[in-house]
Amino acid sequence: MHILYTNDLHNQVAPLSQLPQWQRPDSVLLDGGDAIGGSNTAFRWQEPILQWMRRLGYAAMAMGNREFHYWRWLHRWREQERQFPLLACNLEDLRDHRTCFRPWTTLRHPDLKVAVIGTTPVQFPVGSFWERKTGWRFLDPMLCLPPLVEELKASHDGVVLLSHCGLEHDLKLADRGLGVDLILGAHSHDLTPEPVYRGGTGILQTGSHGRYFAEIEWEPGRARLGWTLHSCS
C-alpha cells in the first residue's frame, strides 16, 4: 500500500500543493489531525484546507484537538466541507447519535482490507463535571484500543492507527503490545527522521505546520517500512 501522510498542518497548505506529484492512482492519503485553522473553542466559517484535502481524495483523518468542538452543529458543518471520514474511537457523544465522526473505517485496496482507527486527545476524565455539562465522553485510548484492535485484526489484513495523542503516548501503546501494524502519529509535533519500531509496529510522525510529509510503502506483516520524508520548504 502506498500511503501519503500529513499531520498537524495547522492550516498550512504547502504539502497539499506538492502531493499530486507523488500521488499514484492507488495512493492512500491519510492525516493525523489538527489540519484546520480553528480550535475546539473558536471556529471559522470556512476551512479551505478541508476542501483541498477533499479534492485530493483523502481517505481519513484523526480528530485532532482542533477538529473537536463542543458545538455539534459545527461538526456537521465541517463534515460537509470535508466529505471524508473523521476518526476518534475514544470519543462518545452522549446526547446525539447522529455523530459526524466514527471510531474506525475500512480501506479496500487491491488485495488488501485494512482497518484505520483514530484517537483524539482526552479533554477531561470520565464522570467529570465537564462530561455532564457538555455530553461528550473521552475514553482512555490505552483502555479502549486493545479490544477494538483485536476485533478488527480478525476481519482485516492489517490495522493502522491514526493517533493524535503524541509520540510518547504512541510509544507506550506499542510497548504495551498493541497489535497494530503502523502508528501514524500527531499532536506532539515530533519529527521522526526514520520510523521507530516496537516489535512489529512502525511508529512515525512528520513534525508540524506543513514542513514535511511522508511517503510510505507498507505491507501488512513486513518487518520494515519503505519510508521517505519529503521537505516542503
In the chain, where are the structural domains located? 2-231
Which homologous superfamily is 2-231 in?
Answer: Metallo-dependent phosphatases (3.60.21.10)
Residue 103 · residue 88 · CB < 8 Å = yes
Entry pTM = 0.96
Q: Which residues of 71-95 are buried (b: 16+ CB within 10 A; e: fewer)?
A: ebebbebbbeebebbbbbbbbbbee
Report the alpha-carbon distance of residue 233 to residue 109 in Å, rounded. 31
Cα torsion angle, 53, 224, 108, 60, sign = negative
Could you report the per-residue pLDDT of 161-206, keeping only the tens digit for each?
999 999 999 999 999 999 999 999 999 999 999 999 998 899 999 9
Could you report the per-residue pLDDT of 48-74, keeping only the tens digit for each?
999 999 999 999 999 999 999 999 999
